Amino acid sequence: MPLHDPALPKDRIRLKKIAVFAYHGVYAEEARLGQRFNISLDCAIDLSDAGRTDDLQHGVSYADLAALVQEIAVSERFHIIEALGERIAQTILAKHPRIAGIAVTVEKPAAAIAALFETIEVTIQRNRSHA
Q: Which helix (H) or strand (E) holds 94?
A: helix 81-95
Q: How far apart are CA 90 and CA 101, in angstroms?
A: 10
Nearest CA-CA partner of 43 in 16, 20, 19: 16
Per-residue burial over 68-91, b if 16 or more Cβ lie within 10 Å, else e, is bbeebbeeeebeebebbbbbbbbe
Where does 23-113 show beta strands of DSSP type E? 35-45, 99-108
> Would residue 108 show up in a list of annotated catalytic residues for this protein?
yes
Q: Of the residues 16, 17, 95, 108, which is catalytic?
A: 108
- The catalytic residue positions are 108
